[in-house]
Amino acid sequence: MTTPMPTPLQGGEIYRLAVPNTAAAPKIARDFLDSVLRVSRHGSLMDDARLCVTELVTNAHRHTQTPLIRVTVAVNRKRITVYVTDDTPWSLPAPNLNPTEHELGCGQGVFLLDRVAETWGSTIYGGLTPSHKAVWFTLAGKGTPT
C-alpha cells in the first residue's frame, strides 16, 4: 500500500546523504541527522528522530540489496521530515500483531513510527515500472500545532 507523501515543508532547507548499505549505515545516518538538527535548532526532536531514522535505515540495510541508502532531511522552523530511500520498490510489510517469542522486537518498526512520529508513510516511485521507495516520517517541534 502506498501512502501519500507528506505536505512539502514551506520555507525550509533540504539536506541529503547517500551511505553504502553496510552495518555502519544506521550510525552514519544518526550522526548526519544529529548535525542537521543541531544547526536547524531542532535539538528537542533529537531522541525521537534518532530512533526513527535508525529503524528505517536498519530496515533498508537488513531487507534490501540496494547499494546505497539515501537519507533526505527537510527542515523548517516548525517540523522536520526524514525520507529513507532504497532501490527495492515495494511497500512496508504489515506489522505482526501477534508475534511469537522469537519474533518479538522484529518487524515492529511501524508501531514505533506510529507512536513517535506526527505522520509517516511510504511512497513507491517509478509508476508502472517501480524503481525505488521512500519511507518517511515527520516530527513537529514542541508546541507546534498539528
141, three cell numbers: 517541534
Give the global pTM. 0.81
Residue scoring higher pLDDT (112 or 117):
117
Residues 73-86, mean pLDDT to the nearest whole number: 94
- pLDDT-derived band at 124, boundaries 50, 70, 90: confident
Mean pLDDT taken over the chain: 83
> Could you give all domains of the chain from N- to C-terminal order, each with its CATH number?
13-140 (3.30.565.10)
- pLDDT-derived band at 89, boundaries 50, 70, 90: confident
Distances (CA, A) of 130 to 1, 91, 102: 13, 11, 33
